Structure 1
Amino acid sequence: MSTVMIGVIGIIIVVALLMLRVPVALAMSVVGFVGYWIISGSNPALKLMGMVPFSTTANYTFTVIPLFILMGYFVFYGQLATNMFSAINVWFDRVRGGICYATIVGGAAFGAANGSGPASTATLARITIPEMERLGVSRRLAYGIVASAGPLAQMIPPSMLMIIYAILAEQSVSKLLIAGIVPGLIIAFGYIVTVYVILKRNPDLAPKMERQPLSTKIKELKGIWGITLLIGAIMAGLYLGFFTPTEAGAIGALLALLITVFSGKLSFEGFKLSIIESIKTSATVFFIVVSSFLFGYFLGISQIPRTVSNFLTGLDVHPIIIMFGICAMYIFLGMFIDMLSAMFLTIPIILPAVIELGYDPIWFGVIVVFLAEISLVTPPFGLSIFMIQGAVKGSDYAEILKGSIPFILTDFIILLIFLFFPQIILFLPSLM
């Protein structure tokens, strides 16, 4: 049996295990180790098992992951999201469905201080959906807004998926984080336009809010100073080159701790939970990273990446058609398995071909992360839908999905824009 065929069988087994809900780290590490053993023998495979866990986790670049995770938990347990949403909400009092727009803007801002799409969705669901329902917003519309605005954290820096892609693709973490700014703003604006069109067609879905005096609006601004300082410091430092991504993670975690402690919002219990949850999440991420490297070595020795690259680059079609096919593949995978798993599985195979076709790996990283964002809403996996179900009592899967459909259509329109106009993504990184 050829090495390529062994690699194909390994990929099929991993996909099958993932669809059976076997943990991604376990599936990829076992298949990677056994596959490497079959191709190269027992001694090289055992040496690989002894080398990869340490050489991978000892990489200085990886220290950015637990630091940004810790920052996100300080923000969450320090209630910065609640204060920020209340402040943004009062400034949208003059438009119909102002709270809907406030949720989208708040979701983008919270994503910039959190970095995790599912965590952002769960937080927004707890804070905003009950408030939207109280103010008379259609439940279906409220579900759709949160299901789509929550995953914005996948795109807006500091995105964990961006950092993981940068490590997998051996690209600049700073450039990838900065590359997500403009696309993140465009996606948020697209959702705002979607809400405007929906309410223009059916104004009864959301009433106008009670107008607030200017003094109240100014007073509420104190609720956003902390998160504004945090986001501004990280983005300015990265873009201007004052510090590296790892230093940005350390500064972000320290700033988040100081802001929440001095504002009196972070209790000792919240601090303890932040540390414990950060350790748990970081350990899970590193286990997945180590397993993906094991699986990557197996793919490399099986010649799968080179074979796929030669096949795709040899097709007699325009490269954009191939990109459409790659995007369709990710959308399909995202319907059944977690996109983090899909990234670990596919990036080592697909990326060489994408680069060979002439596409920028930074641009492709943003595309993949955006597809991961879309996958959080697409059925049947749709993690955002399940997060809302868990956070809001009485919520219905079908109703959440129906509310998300207009925003999913908007996502596909934005995806086409990113595919045909790559400079939208590459403009800021090119200036660094």
Structure 2
Amino acid sequence: MSVELIGLLGLIALFILLGLRIPVAFAMFAVGFTGVSILNSPQAALSQLASDSFSLAAKIELVVVPLFILMGNVATETGMSRKLYDAAYAWIGSIRGGLASATVVACGGFAALSGSSVASALTIGRVSLSEMKRFDYDDRLSTGVVAAGGTLGILIPPSTGFVIYALLTQESIGRLFLAGVLPGLLLLSMFILTIMVITWIKPSMGPKGPQTTFSEKMRSTTGAAPILLVIVLTIGGIYTGIFSPVEASAVGAGLVILFGILMGKLNFKKFWKAAQDSVVTTATVMLILISAYMIKTFLALSHIPAWLGTYLESLAIPVLGVLAIMLAIYLILGCFLEGFAMMVLSMPIFFPVVQQLGIDPIWFGVLVVLTLEMGLISPPVGLNVFIVKSVAPDVSLGKMFRGVAPFWFAMLATLALLVAFPQIALILPDTMIN
């Protein structure tokens, strides 16, 4: 039996395990460990498991994962995330569809703290859904905008998706974080434009909210000032070269904790809960990464990535054509697989092809993360939609998926713009001060 056939059988086994609802980390580990044992030896597989576990745990770059997650969890426990929504609500809540637009802005702001789409959707959903219900927003728009807005969590830095991509591809986390800023703001703007179009066509879906005075606007902005300061310092520090991403994560987490204490909103009980949640999430990420390294070695031994690259080159398809095929595969897989699972499964296969074709890896990383976001709201899996369902149990899943559909197409339009104009993603990392 050829090594390529063994590799193909391993991939088939992996998808069967995932279809049986085996957790992605365990499925990848089982296939990767077994594959390396067959193509090399059981001793080599055990040796790699030990070395990969320790080398990953020793990577200083991974410090950003628990620290940025802690930053977001502390912001949630202390109510700082509510301040972001209140500020956006005060400024734009009074226009038609304004509460929905304020939700998107708040999701974008919280994304710059947590790096998690699920956390963004859950946290802002708890705050905003009751307000939109109070002002008679259509359930399709209110739940759709929370599910879609939450996806900004893995595009706007700090992003757990970019950290995992960087570790799988050996790219710079700092450059990837900066590359996500403008695409994240572009997507946020596209979501607001979508809300404006929806409420222009059917005004009853997003009635106007209450008017606020200028003093109320300023007061709400002042309340959100600590969070805004943290966002500016962390992202600005990375761009100007004052902080590395690791240092920025420490500064951000430290400032959020300090502000929580000074405002009297953070006690030991809340901090302990935030720390526990951060440890659990970090452990999950680490388990997935260890499994990813194992299956990456198995695929390399099976020569599947090299075979795929050679095959695509033989078809004489233009580079953009190959890129379109890969993105289309991500969009299809997004209907069935969780986002990080897609990334760790696909990178060992796709990234060698990306390097072979000379595609910019930073640009490709942004495109991949955006397509992962689309999977978060794609039926039938649509993780973010199920998260919103937990906050709004009275709204049917069918209604939620109909509500999120316009935002999915807004994401598709954003993806097309990023493919057509790569500099949207590359201008900040290319001009960053080292």
Measured against the shorter chain, the TM-score band is over 0.9
Partner Cα distance (1:422, 1:250) in 2: 31
Counterpart amino acid of residue 122 in structure 1: L
User: Is residue 109 of structure 1 aligned with residue 125 of structure 2?
Assistant: no
Question: Match of 2:143?
Answer: 143
Q: What is the total number of aligned residue pairs between the two structures?
A: 432
Same amino acid, percent of matched pairs: 37
> Stretches of 4+ moved more than 4 A in 1?
none
Q: CA deviation at 1:355?
A: 2.1
Question: Match of 1:186?
Answer: 186
Question: Match of 1:206?
Answer: 206
> Contact (CA 8 Å) 2:334, 2:378: kept in 1 or not?
yes
Q: CA deviation at 1:43?
A: 2.5
Question: Match of 1:55?
Answer: 55
Q: CA deviation at 1:339?
A: 1.3
Alignment of 1:140-179 (within 5 A): 140-179=140-179
Question: Match of 1:286?
Answer: 286
Q: CA deviation at 1:94?
A: 4.4
Which segment drifts farther, 201-210 or 152-161?
Answer: 201-210
SS at match of 2:242: coil
Question: Match of 2:413?
Answer: 413
User: Is residue 236 of structure 1 aligned with residue 242 of structure 2?
Assistant: no
TM-score, normalisation: structure 2: 0.97
Partner Cα distance (1:218, 1:38) in 2: 65
> Contact (CA 8 Å) 1:313, 1:353: kept in 2 or not?
no
Do the aligned partners of residues 6 and 131 (structure 1) sit closer, same or farther apart at CA in structure 2, a change above 3 Å counting? Answer: same
Q: CA deviation at 1:416?
A: 0.9
Q: CA deviation at 1:254?
A: 0.6
Partner Cα distance (1:20, 1:124) in 2: 32
Partner Cα distance (2:63, 2:314) in 1: 39
Q: CA deviation at 1:28?
A: 1.0
Q: CA deviation at 1:210?
A: 2.2
Q: CA deviation at 1:175?
A: 0.2
Q: CA deviation at 1:393?
A: 2.8
User: Is residue 131 of structure 1 aligned with residue 131 of structure 2?
Assistant: yes
- CA deviations on 1:218-250 (whole Å, 9 max, x unpaired) are 122222111101101101110001111111111
Partner Cα distance (1:159, 1:19) in 2: 28
Question: Match of 1:76?
Answer: 76
Q: CA deviation at 1:364?
A: 0.4
Partner Cα distance (1:406, 1:93) in 2: 21
SS at match of 1:161: helix
Question: Match of 1:310?
Answer: 310
- CA deviations on 1:233-272 (whole Å, 9 max, x unpaired) are 1011100011111111111111111111211222322101
Counterpart amino acid of residue 73 in structure 1: N
> Contact (CA 8 Å) 1:117, 1:150: kept in 2 or not?
yes
Question: Match of 1:380?
Answer: 380
Partner Cα distance (2:133, 2:429) in 1: 41
Which segment drifts farther, 279-288 or 376-385?
Answer: 279-288
Question: Match of 1:43?
Answer: 43
Partner Cα distance (1:210, 1:103) in 2: 15
TM-score, normalisation: structure 1: 0.98
Q: Where in structure 2 are there 5+ consecutive unaligned residues?
A: none
> Contact (CA 8 Å) 1:19, 1:337: kept in 2 or not?
no
Partner Cα distance (2:41, 2:380) in 1: 40
Partner Cα distance (1:109, 1:180) in 2: 14
SS at match of 1:130: helix
Partner Cα distance (1:216, 1:92) in 2: 12
Cα RMSD of the aligned pairs, angstroms, is 1.2
Question: Match of 2:251?
Answer: 251
